């Protein structure tokens, strides 16, 4: 009977050397994203030998100045429109309906002859006047009077100037019966969409939403868009409530659109929870986002390599001092880097605002790669030992069946008789 001893040691050494070479080559080790060194390398290199070719993204270290710039460019209504005054003067427009009352100081004038008999006063109310497509109304003996773009007081002055040489000390009173031009519209996730006339007393965005019956649902996932003369500004609904400066006055022809959009961000890397995470609030900071993602894993995460991916507007990138614009379009890909090993960085993380569709990535620590390598060695060794142990067990069983000593199968690597 002959038995053979496999050269397990030689095979194991070869396997370990192979795995080491694999690890050193940087290939084959599972990882959930780029290592921290990759960001720094890419930020100081080019995509090609052509120095005129821009970087693929901007790498920005989070500092107090960066936090200030990002906070100033949050989605808000305050400061987005050049008109920041109080209630606006509402002017007459085409289609508005006016009523005009004319007065004379005594009978015997243009409108009230002496023989007219008793009357309550020397005044005459004309039929309602609709501002025509030219922007005019018509007054007897005065002809067309310009109304569009004027206030009732200005129209009164024009009527008096047109009649003063024909009537006895004429006076006029102009009243708006119905506004059809200076309207404000409220649409979207409100209980009753409405279109109502602007008033001289002024109304704010929340007043306009109240006219529409309020919100259909709670406000944490609700956004408010104001469209004014084709310029659009957007803000979370609760920003209007908790930051009164955003509750701006609405103007004639404004469109207020209310819509729902749950805010989410993605978490990858060495965090407790990976995947899509909901804000569940109208605003969220980076520190709160990391907490919602389960925090950093003690056995994997490198606190100095926490990154936030975001598409920033060109204007913001310029203010950040990022000299790596990669597109002529309105947005620039920016990666914010924060070192949470530094105590002050924790305060910055509580002030840095998250934005909808942000991506948080936490890189693995360097030591994790060594741990992964050793686990691979153990796994490979176990994989190698399993068939050997199975073969030994088979020979032992066979020896037991034939009544020979099982130790014979374990002797040397050459046949033993």
Give me the CATH code for the 36-75+263-366 domain, please. Answer: 3.10.560.10
Calpha distance 410→252 (Å, rounded): 96
The per-residue pLDDT for 18 is: 53
Question: What does the longest C-alpha to C-alpha distance in the chain come to?
Answer: 154
Is a pLDDT exceeding 90 seen at residue 89? no
Residue with tokens 């002859």: 113
Q: Supply the pLDDT for residue 107.
A: 76
Q: Is the pLDDT of residue 32 over 70?
A: no
Domain ranges for the chain:
36-75+263-366, 97-178, 183-260
* pLDDT band, residue 145 (cuts 50/70/90): very high
Say what the pLDDT of residue 407 is. Answer: 55
The partner residues of 362 in beta bridges, in order of sequence, read 269, 306
pLDDT-based confidence at residue 108 (cuts at 50, 70, 90): confident
pLDDT in tens, 67-82: 999 999 999 998 888 7
**More confident of the two residues 34 and 234:** 234
Per-residue pLDDT at 4: 44
Location of structure tokens 């995509």:
47
Query: Given pLDDT bands bounded at 50, 70 and 90, which one contains residue 46?
Result: very low
Q: In whole numbers, what is the pLDDT of the chain averaged over residues?
A: 82
Closest CA to 312 of 254, 349, 355, 281: 355
Q: To which CATH superfamily is domain 183-260 assigned? A: Outer membrane lipoprotein wza domain like (3.10.560.10)
- pLDDT tops 90 at residue 189: yes
User: What is the per-residue pLDDT for 367?
Assistant: 64
pTM of the model: 0.71
Task: Specify the range with the lowest mean pLDDT, choosing from 24-38, 186-200, 342-356.
Answer: 24-38
**Per-residue confidence (pLDDT) for residue 300, from 0 to 100:** 85
Structure-block tokens of residue 279: 């804000």
pLDDT band at 185 (very low <50, low <70, confident <90, very high): very high
Mean pLDDT check: name the lowest of 25-34, 102-111, 233-242, 354-363.
25-34
Closest listed residue to residue 97, CA positions, set 182, 196, 177, 172: 177
**Cα-to-chain-centroid distance, residue 288:** 16
Q: What is the mean pLDDT of residues 311-322?
A: 87
Query: Three-class SS string for the chain?
Result: CCCCCCCHHHHHHHHHHHHHHHHHCCCCCCCCCCCHHHHHHHHCCCCCCCCCCCCCCEEEECCHHHHHHHHHCCCCCCCCCCCCCCCCCCCCCCCCEEEEEEECCCCCCCCCCHHHCCCCCCEEECCCEECCCCCEEEECCCEEEECCCCCHHHHHHHHHHHHCCCCCCCEEEEEEEECCCCEEEEEECECCCEEEECCCCCCEHHHHHHHCCCECCCCCCEEEEEEECCEEEEEEHHHHHHCHHHCCECCCCCEEEEEECCCEEEEEECECCCEEEECCCCCCEHHHHHHHCCCECCCCEEEEEEEEEEEEEHHHHHHHCCCCCCCCCCEEEEEEEECCCCHHHHHHHCCCECCCCCEEEEEECHHHHHHHHHHHHHHHHHHHHHHHHHHHHHHHHHHHHHCCCHHHHHCCCCCCC
Q: What pLDDT sits at residue 216?
A: 93
Classify domain 97-178 at the CATH superfamily level.
Answer: wza like domain (3.30.1950.10)
Q: What is the pLDDT of residue 368?
A: 59
For residue range 267-290, list pLDDT tens digits in order: 999 999 999 999 999 999 999 999
**How far apart are the C-alpha atoms of 162 and 136, rounded to whole Å?**
14
If you average pLDDT over residues 338-366, what whole number do you get?
A: 93
Residue 84 vs residue 353, higher pLDDT: 353
Amino acid 48: pLDDT: 40
Query: Which pLDDT score is estimated for 358?
Result: 96
- In this prediction, residues 361-373 reach a mean pLDDT of 71
Instruction: Say yes or no: do domains 36-75+263-366 and 183-260 share a fold.
Output: yes
């Amino acid at each position: 009977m002959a038995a053979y001893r496999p050269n397990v040691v030689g095979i194991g050494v070869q396997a370990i050397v192979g795995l080491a070479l694999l690890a050193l080559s940087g290939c084959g080790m599972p990882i959930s994203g780029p290592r921290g060194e990759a960001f720094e390398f890419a930020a100081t290199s080019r995509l090609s030998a052509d120095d005129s070719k821009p970087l693929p993204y901007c790498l920005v270290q989070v500092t107090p100045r960066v936090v200030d710039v990002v906070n100033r460019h949050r989605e808000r209504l305050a400061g987005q429109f050049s008109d920041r005054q109080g209630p606006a003067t509402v002017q007459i427009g085409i289609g508005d309906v006016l009523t005009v009352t004319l007065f004379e100081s005594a009978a015997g004038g243009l409108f009230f002859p002496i023989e007219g008999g008793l009357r309550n006063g020397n005044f005459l109310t004309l039929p309602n006047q609709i501002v025509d497509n030219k922007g005019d109304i018509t007054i007897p003996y005065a002809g067309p009077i310009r109304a569009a773009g004027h206030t009732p007081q200005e129209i009164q002055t024009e009527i008096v100037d047109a009649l003063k040489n024909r009537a006895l000390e004429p006076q006029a009173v102009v009243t708006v019966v119905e506004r059809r031009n200076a309207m404000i519209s409220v649409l979207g996730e409100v209980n009753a969409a409405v279109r109502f006339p602007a008033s001289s007393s002024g109304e704010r965005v929340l007043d306009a939403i109240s006219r529409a019956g309020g919100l259909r649902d709670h406000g944490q996932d609700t956004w408010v868009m104001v469209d004014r003369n084709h310029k659009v500004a957007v803000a979370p609904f609760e920003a209007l409530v908790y930051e009164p400066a955003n509750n701006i006055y609405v103007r004639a022809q404004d469109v207020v659109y209310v819509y729902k959009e749950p805010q989410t961000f993605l978490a990858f890397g060495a965090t407790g929870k990976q995947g899509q995470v909901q804000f569940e609030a109208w605003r969220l900071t980076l520190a709160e986002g990391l907490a919602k993602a389960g925090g950093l894993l003690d056995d994997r995460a490198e606190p100095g390599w926490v990154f936030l991916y975001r598409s920033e507007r060109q204007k913001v990138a310029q203010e950040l001092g990022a000299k790596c614009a990669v597109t002529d379009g309105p947005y620039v890909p920016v990666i914010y880097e924060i070192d949470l090993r530094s105590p002050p960085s924790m305060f910055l993380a509580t002030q840095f605002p998250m934005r909808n569709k942000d991506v948080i990535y936490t890189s693995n620590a360097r030591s994790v790669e060594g741990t992964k390598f050793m686990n691979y060695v153990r796994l490979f060794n176990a994989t190698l030992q399993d068939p050997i142990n199975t073969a030994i067990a088979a020979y032992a069983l066979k020896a037991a069946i034939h009544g020979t000593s099982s130790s014979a199968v374990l002797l040397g690597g050459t046949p033993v008789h």
